[in-house]
A and B are shown apart, each in its own frame.
Chain A
């Protein structure tokens, strides 16, 4: 009896609270974000989202068709953890940083191809200081280079949490790589990053040996969001 009471009390408290805030009608014509997501959830209830539709659509098209008529920088991102695939277009350029956006308002920021921030996926990368890695790759690093990078995230309590990773960037030489129907000859770098001695992630970058353009990469976002696989159709302007 005691158990049931407290359990009900607790979930009823949260549930009723949520319901009272969301349900009902009002003079306000614009639904709040919470109402929006509730409506979306009801609409999509029971439907399996077709996470592969984008990938199939992309694979059916040539690079020329994908880039269309414009020359706006475009990338394709494979969110491994969600088995989702999206195309993003550049919407902003700020010095060495390119901001790309999906159609549903997720942004991903890169500096010379290196991921520095995400917004709108929940477990976002708030910022990443990748200056050492960027300098090494742009400087044509070979062999093994020690790098350090600082990743920041916004905690559930709105605190900016910084973690410094000690990494080693290893040059694996030039190899043929296929990216969206096209074979490139690119230099592969693997950057393995540790925190407190434990390996946390390993990013892979494929970079043009001459122009230093990063055409393809697999980069870590955060513990919950995992890795993004990135293919570049038209490189960012930075």
Chain B
């Protein structure tokens, strides 16, 4: 009996995957396709995949995301052994692809897609295509396409688009600094046909592919003599190792053997098949008219009596201890009770609200009809959920309980508490600390594509009063090679980020040490002031103001900072470089899980410009997004990459473990770290802290209210 839950959980942990992720057929660039060539298909919506493989010393590692049912995006890191540039014998290249499915396959209609390969890299793989794929039988599909650029380099002919405009006939060479979309080259120059066949064998694990490639690998076989191109026909076999993983082997261009591993997962499907925390307490239903105890609803003599208020608060806190919900304060009247809570583990605030409300029904006197659950985040009350007790009683077993409850609950900006107020003791002041391991890594340096440090991190936070705290983090490196960066920055801008190698030489590092005050300056307003060693490279002061109504999909913010660059030893010293930076930010929840953010202002190198961010956000906490920053720094001054850009990724720990947790940090992956368009890294910016408790985040995951 004790293991009832564990046994089922263990079982599902194994079984969950089987019923979930689909692995779409991807090509060697990690995009929907055959071997090197693309297809007209798309991966299942939201699929996130990693592919890694190569042939003839060329290795491609891609991270691909099905951004919407039609749009696929990919970031790739390529290593080409034998492609010599100066002293380097391996060429390292980052590139982005985008693929848009124009039509879905129908009875007669093929799936048709248009795509841009390597459209903002240095452009060694640059090519565009229009491609169609159609199933002839259930197990056999055929792909035919027309390619330009690299995809028009084998057996190419005069661009048919040239008949529309002669400018399409020629394509200019030269990759330059990379990083910019080279619009002027798209669909220009010679074109060529490509195509292929994919056959799903009767064994569901095995499928076979053959393709005719229109990529001549001109520079690989010419200038760099990396391999010999004997034939445009490639052969491949895919073996489905598991639902998530595929192994592929292929014979390329009549001369080379290759391999690939593809791993795909879908944020929409939990690997556990559900969440594993214990059941919530059921609602206690008050006796109805005519039932024994009904008259207790009229008993209100407890209200206003301090010992009653204290004992009710104590009972409720005891009942919620297992849910790690802390009651900071509570206000009691005969018919309405508000509790202000800190939610420590539930990634979904709706779940925390639901659990508190149900427990209130079990603890509070029968005269209380209105429950108000107010969530306090970082010391600031951010949302009040007002729930009628009779709705809880009536809707608990409603088949459509989630929607029915959502329609009845009121979400508002918290206001002053009413009635007899009880505040928790021992919340302030309080010291919290933790000691644990840490990992730091850097990728994509041409000298060493992957560097990492491992060591011990000590973190502390001293809560002085609501919203007011002092925090610090210290790391001691134990082992690693992050200190081996030898590449000196040649940036023409102030070296606001590009001297990162010097900072990584510090073994004992003060990561941050700040005094922070987060507060509510007024209705719908949130404020933050931070002072101290804000991040690894900067110290100073930062102030922020955010306007964000609880039920609004729109928010505005402003931030100003005055900082000095920190000394390379990551101690208490600073260097002479000082700068005032600041941004005005607009945030929009575009519904259906897409969010946009624009930040306009002054960056660390004194450059003026704007950052554009689009995220796809899942109701379970996954975020996959991308951003770019354009400033008044000319691309030539910025250097390699032309401007700052990158990918944002958050994988919540609760998704992988099935256990409630708020953990899961947003990782930013930049192909390059340079000085233009660089912003200060602030740990506790207001928007995310606030919005995760507001309607636009509560609603999509409202099903959690009853969980």
Is A152 among interface residues, defined by CB-CB distance under 8 A?
yes
Q: B360-394, CB under 8 A of A: which get 1 and which 0? A: 00000000000000000000000000000000010
Residues of B within 8 A of A86 (CB): 1, 4
Report the bound CA distance from A37 to B3 in whole Å: 12
* 28 interchain pairs, CB-CB under 8 A: A3-B52, A3-B261, A6-B50, A6-B52, A9-B443, A14-B656, A23-B436, A24-B434, A25-B436, A27-B431, A81-B8, A82-B11, A87-B1, A93-B285, A102-B5, A104-B6, A107-B280, A119-B707, A120-B5, A120-B277, A121-B8, A122-B9, A122-B12, A123-B274, A127-B398, A127-B400, A157-B622, A158-B348
Interface hit among B562-570, B632-640, B658-666: B658-666
Q: Decide if B16 is an interface residue (CB 8 Å cutoff).
A: yes
Identify B345's interface contact among A7, A17, A32, A111, CB under 8 A: A32
User: Once the chains bind, are A156 and B268 in contact (CB under 8 Å)?
Assistant: yes
Partner of A26, one of B285, B401, B434, B653: B434
Contact assessment for A16 and B432 in the assembled complex, using a CB-CB cutoff below 8 Å: no
Asked if B274 and A122 sit within 8 Å, CB to CB, the answer is yes
| A51 contacts partner chain B, Cβ-Cβ < 8 Å | yes
Expressed in whole angstroms, the Cα–Cα distance for A37 and B463 within the complex equals: 29
B439 near A107 (CB under 8 angstroms)?
no
- Asked whether, in the complex, the Cβ of B657 is within 8 Å of the Cβ of A37, the reply is yes
Asked if A27 meets B432 with Cβ closer than 8 Å, knowing A18-B657, A32-B661, the reply is yes
Contacts of A122 in B (CB 8 A): 8-9, 12, 16, 272-276, 658
- Given A34-B659, A105-B279, A107-B282, residue A2 in contact with residue B433 (CB < 8 A): no
Any B CB within 8 A of the CB of A230: no
On chain B, the residues within 8 Å of A156 by CB distance are 20, 266-270, 273-274, 620, 655
Name the interface residues of A92-140: CB closer than 8 Å to any CB of B: 92-97, 99, 101-107, 109, 111, 116-117, 119-124, 126-129
Question: Across the two chains, which residue of chain B brings its CB closest to A1?
Answer: B59
1/0 per residue, CB under 8 A from A, across B440-470: the answer is: 0001000001100000000000000000000
Closest A residue to B50 by beta carbon equals: A10
> Which B residues are CB-close (under 8 A) to A87?
1
On chain A, the residues within 8 Å of B278 by CB distance are: 104-106, 119-120
Contact in complex: A84, B7 (CB < 8 Å): yes
CB pair A84–B269 under 8 Å, yes or no, is no
Rounded to whole angstroms, the CA-CA distance of A40 and B3 in the bound complex is: 10
Q: Which residues of A contact B449 (CB under 8 A)?
A: 5
Shortest Cβ distance from A99 into chain B, in angstroms? 5
Instruction: Tell whether A82 pairs with B7 under 8 Å between CB atoms, given A103-B1, A119-B707, A158-B348.
Output: yes
Q: Do B657 and A92 touch across chains, with their CB atoms under 8 A apart?
A: no
Q: Which residue of B lies closest to A102 (CB)?
A: B4
Closest to B46 in A: A157
With A27-B434, A224-B15: A2-B399 Cβ-Cβ less than 8 Å: no
Q: How many A-B residue pairs have CB under 8 A?
A: 250
B397 within 8 A of A: yes
In the complex, what residues of B have CB within 8 A of residue A94's CB?
282-283, 285, 393, 396-397
Instruction: Tell me which residues from 43 to 63 in chain B have a Cβ below 8 Å from any Cβ of chain A.
Output: 50-54, 59-61
Residues of chain A with a CB closer than 8 A to B596's CB:
none
Hey, which chain A residues are within 8 Å of B274, CB to CB?
121-124, 154, 156, 224
Interface presence of A30 (CB below 8 A): yes
Interface set of B (CB-CB < 8 Å, partner A):
1-9, 11-12, 15-16, 19-20, 50-54, 59-61, 79, 259-261, 263, 266-270, 272-280, 282-285, 324, 345, 348, 393, 396-403, 431-439, 443, 449-450, 618-620, 622, 651, 653, 655-661, 663, 700-701, 703-704, 706-707
Judging by beta carbons under 8 Å apart, are B5 and A106 in contact? yes
Question: Which residues of A have CB within 8 Å of B282?
Answer: 91-92, 94, 99, 107
Q: Is the CB of B656 within 8 A of A18?
A: yes
Interface residues of A (CB under 8 A from B): 1-3, 5-7, 9-10, 14, 16-21, 23-28, 30, 32-34, 36-37, 40, 44, 49, 51, 54, 79, 81-82, 84, 86-87, 91-97, 99, 101-107, 109, 111, 116-117, 119-124, 126-129, 150, 152, 154-160, 162, 223-225
Chain B residue numbers with a CB within 8 Å of A20 are 436-439
A59 to chain B, nearest CB (A): 14
Query: A116 CA to B282 CA in the complex, in Å?
Result: 14
B8–A28 touching, CB < 8 Å: no
Contact of B437 among A23, A51, A127 (CB under 8 A): A23
- A14, A54, A128: the one within 8 Å of B651 (CB): A14
A75 vs B663: C-alpha distance when bound (angstroms)? 38
Sample of 13 further A-B pairs with CB below 8 A, known A3-B54, A82-B11, A155-B269: A2-B52, A2-B59, A2-B60, A3-B53, A5-B449, A32-B661, A34-B657, A84-B8, A121-B274, A122-B274, A156-B655, A158-B701, A224-B273
Partner of A32, one of B259, B324, B655: B324
Q: Which residue of A lies closest to B58 (CB)?
A: A2
Q: Report A-chain residues with C-beta under 8 Å of the C-beta of B285.
A: 92-95
CB-contact partner of A106 in B4, B50, B345, B660, under 8 A: B4
- Cβ of A79 to closest chain B Cβ, rounded Å: 6
Count chain B CB atoms within 10 A of each CB in A37, A87, A162 and give the residue with the most: A37
When the two chains form their complex, are residues A111 and B7 in contact, meaning their CB atoms are under 8 A apart? no
- Tell me which residues across on chain A come within 8 A of B283, comparing CB atoms: 92, 94
What are the residues of chain B within 8 A of A36 when measuring CB–CB? 659
Taking a contact as CB atoms closer than 8 A, the residue among B1, B52, B324, B701 that contacts A102 in the complex is B1
Residues from chain A with Cβ under 8 Å of B275 in the complex: 122, 154
Q: Which 3 A-B pairs have the closest CB atoms?
A: A24-B436, A2-B59, A105-B278
Known contacts A3-B261, A9-B450, A106-B279; A152 and B399 CB within 8 A of each other = yes
Bound CA span A46–B464, Å: 46
